[in-house]
Amino acid sequence: MELPHFSHKHPLTFFDGQNTHSDAENTKCSGCLGPILEESSYGCTQCHYFLHKKCAELPREIFHPFHPEHRLRLQPHQQGLRCALCFSGRQSMIYHCSLCHYSLHIKCAEISPPAWMRNTPSRLHFIAVKGVISSLHKTCPELPIKKPSPFHPHTLTLRPKSPHSNRVFACNVCSTYSNGFSYNCKRCSFDLDLRCSSISDTLIHQAHEHSLFAFFLNDDVLYCQGCGTPGKNGLYCHQCVYVLDFKCAALPPTAMHSYDDHPLKLTFKDDSDSDQLYCDVCEDKRDPKHWFYYCDDCGVTIHPECVFGKYPYIKVGDTYTIESHPHSLRFVNKTEKYPSCNSCGQPCSDLALECVSQSECSFIVHWECVAPNKS
């Protein structure tokens, strides 16, 4: 079987299974530059030109969430083109937008942003660290390594992964779980997620007319005006007892969600009739005093948690270990075929940990059932 391919002047012959060429160890795919050893391939033996079967059969044009404006077209690599995700100029085939001069290597084009990133309006960039591609907003590579914080007496250090044993931490300010970047004080085991590292101890917020000041309580709790959640820390108005927790204070003013094609605006009050007070995603009732995201064009209303998810800063695919199971586990987001949690017996319909062992181990557990206690 032969395949005409745009990247080579001769038809490529199909080779099924293991590469038996005399120089097999040095045979590289001319698409992704990876070795061709046990995979089927197409090749031209006359020119010693080979492609993995999957590279040879890549679609010529794609839409990609990192460049939604235009199609990307597969083409031979040209001098000066660099992948927008890993910043490398290697690989001999690349997806490219000639209008914007935007390029993705064919391997990087396989990467999809996590759900919470797809629901944010800002363009994402990626950075390659020790061979691992990590998703970042465009400002993250510019973050300072050392940073003071009004919430901690010691200077904090930026860490790509938390120094805790399982690389997951609960932010000491907003209590949100994350396995991403943190500002950390190793001496005190203190962590700030990136949102809270950008919040000052004095804040002017568009939802309120007066300045808000950070507070930390030992015993009492105050209720957030944005979501109604009780908490021992947040931001407080001394003039009119207005309170925001740090989660609500850091919500972006606009967001995108797959339910609607338009930008959603963070809205602070709803005067609609009671029969209109529901979330279009989860279909639960909404409290008219609590914040929500709204589409001016379509009238769509969505809870903030339904926009970003319950655990927006846990990266699906990362591994985790627990004492009660001998194998490594992987974060997954179950959206169908909800298996029963091995801890509580309830269906796993949200963030969960499932066994990655190659044996027939079907262990799965809710993240909520095994998450460490928040300090």
Instruction: Note the pLDDT tens digit of each residue in 131-146.
Output: 333 444 545 657 788 9
287 within a domain of the structure (yes/no): yes
- How many domains does the chain fold into? 5
pTM here is: 0.59
Q: Which residue has the tokens 């500002």?
A: 183
Instruction: Note the pLDDT tens digit of each residue in 281-298.
Output: 899 999 999 999 999 888
313 within a domain of the structure (yes/no): no
Instruction: Compute the average pLDDT of residues 11-27.
Output: 73
pLDDT above 50: residue 159: yes
When pLDDT is cut at 50, 70 and 90, the band that residue 160 belongs to is confident
108 within a domain of the structure (yes/no): no
* Same-domain check for residues 206 and 192: no
Query: What CATH number has the domain bearing residue 324?
Result: 3.30.60
Instruction: Note the pLDDT tens digit of each residue in 225-265.
Output: 999 999 888 898 888 889 999 999 988 888 888 788 888 99
Per the structure, the complete domain to which residue 274 belongs is given by 254-308
100 within a domain of the structure (yes/no): no
* Same-domain check for residues 242 and 275: no
106 within a domain of the structure (yes/no): no
Residue, of 279 and 260, whose pLDDT is higher: 279
10 within a domain of the structure (yes/no): yes
Please report the pLDDT score of residue 157 as a whole number: 92
Instruction: Note the pLDDT tens digit of each residue in 164-209.
Output: 767 889 999 888 898 888 899 989 989 998 888 888 778 889 999 9
353 within a domain of the structure (yes/no): yes
325 within a domain of the structure (yes/no): yes
* Same-domain check for residues 167 and 185: yes
